[in-house]
């Protein structure tokens, strides 16, 4: 699968999103629609972005009992997005129900990836707040192995973990990596961060980049820089 730069369009209104996409005259970036945008614009905004010719990663990070997640995935399968996700922390039964729910009658389905640990989570938080007494790489590796076993296509993880995920679970198991910052941009609330170039070197398949592009003075230039650094 070709490497992709996905733009996290974390806006609070459909109008802001379409105004942002209007800036891109020559490119059709892969768009991530997250909770904020989906709760504001609903399925209609997904359709509108699709009609403009963009690929869509619907990032709703489902995490609930297996039946609820399975039935919700069935509804999402009808939105014709290219990729969606869930939290691996929901467990194996939930992940299997999700794969089943997402699969359409003709056997096709969007890519399904699992969130291992949020890139805003530090080792300290893992141990002291979540009471998980393991190292971050160990937790990520274990969640990723569960996701692989349940038939997911890949995981969301930090670029710092992409290499070991590929070593353990194979090159075709996708690593989708947020926590991307240029050397000269602010870290914001992200903790485990790398540059697009370093993410490339570490073997990320897809990088998810939000504020370094959406908040840039020239978003199109920032996107182009990202694509150049990441895909070479």
| Sequence ranges of the binding site for substrate | 10, 32, 59-68, 119, 181, 190, 210-211
Q: Which is nearer to ligand C5P, 70 or 114 (CB)?
A: 114
Residue at token pair 């794969």: 99
Among positions 73, 140, 209, 226, the unique one binding ligand C5P when judged by CB under 6 A: 209
Buried b (16+ CB within 10 A) or exposed e, 58-79: bbbbbebebeebbebbbebbeb
| Burial status of residue 212 (CB atoms within 10 A of its CB: 0-12, 13-18, 19 or more) | buried
Q: Which is nearer to ligand C5P, 103 or 164 (CB)?
A: 164
Identify which of 122, 114, 141, 117 has the alpha carbon closest to the alpha carbon of residue 59. Answer: 114
Q: Which is nearer to ligand C5P, 103 or 122 (CB)?
A: 122
Task: Concatenate the DSSP letters of all residues of 182-204 into one string.
Answer: -TTS--TT-SS-B-HHHHHHTT-
Q: Which is nearer to ligand C5P, 12 or 104 (CB)?
A: 12
When asked if residue 178 is in the footprint of ligand C5P (CB under 6 A), the reply is: yes
Residue 85 near residue 61 (C-beta atoms within 8 A)? yes
Binding to ligand C5P by CB under 6 A, coded x per residue (else -) over 135-174, reads ---------------------x------------------
Decide if 82 is catalytic: no
Name the DSSP class of 180.
B
Decide if 153 is catalytic: no
Task: Using the rule CB under 6 A, give the single segment among 111-119, 129-137, 166-174, 197-205 that binds ligand C5P.
Answer: 111-119
Q: Are strands 154-156 and 206-209 parallel, antiparallel or unpaired?
A: unpaired
**Binding residues for ligand C5P (CB under 6 A):** 8, 10, 34, 115, 118-119, 156, 178-180, 188, 190, 208-212
């Amino acid at each position: 699968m070709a490497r992709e730069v996905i733009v996290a369009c974390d806006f609070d209104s459909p109008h802001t999103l379409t105004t942002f996409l209007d800036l891109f005259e020559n490119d059709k970036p892969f768009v991530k629609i997250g909770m904020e945008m989906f709760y504001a614009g609903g399925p209609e905004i997904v359709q509108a972005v699709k009609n403009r010719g963009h690929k869509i990663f619907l990032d709703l990070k489902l995490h609930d009992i297996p039946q609820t997640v399975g039935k919700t995935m069935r509804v999402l399968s009808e939105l014709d997005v290219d990729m969606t996700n869930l939290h691996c922390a929901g467990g194996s039964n939930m992940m299997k129900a999700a794969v089943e729910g997402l699969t359409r009658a003709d056997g096709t389905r969007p890519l399904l990836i699992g969130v291992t640990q949020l890139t805003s989570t530090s080792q300290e938080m893992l141990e002291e707040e979540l009471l998980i007494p393991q190292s971050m790489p160990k937790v990520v590796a274990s969640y990723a192995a569960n996701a692989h076993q349940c038939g997911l296509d890949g995981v969301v993880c930090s670029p710092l973990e992409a290499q070991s995920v590929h070593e353990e679970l194979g090159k075709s198991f996708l690593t989708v990596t947020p926590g991307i910052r240029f050397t000269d941009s602010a870290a914001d609330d992200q903790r485990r961060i790398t540059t697009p170039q370093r993410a490339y070197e570490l073997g990320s398949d897809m990088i998810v980049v939000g504020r370094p592009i959406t908040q840039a003075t020239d978003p199109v230039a920032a996107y182009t820089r990202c694509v150049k650094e990441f895909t070479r």
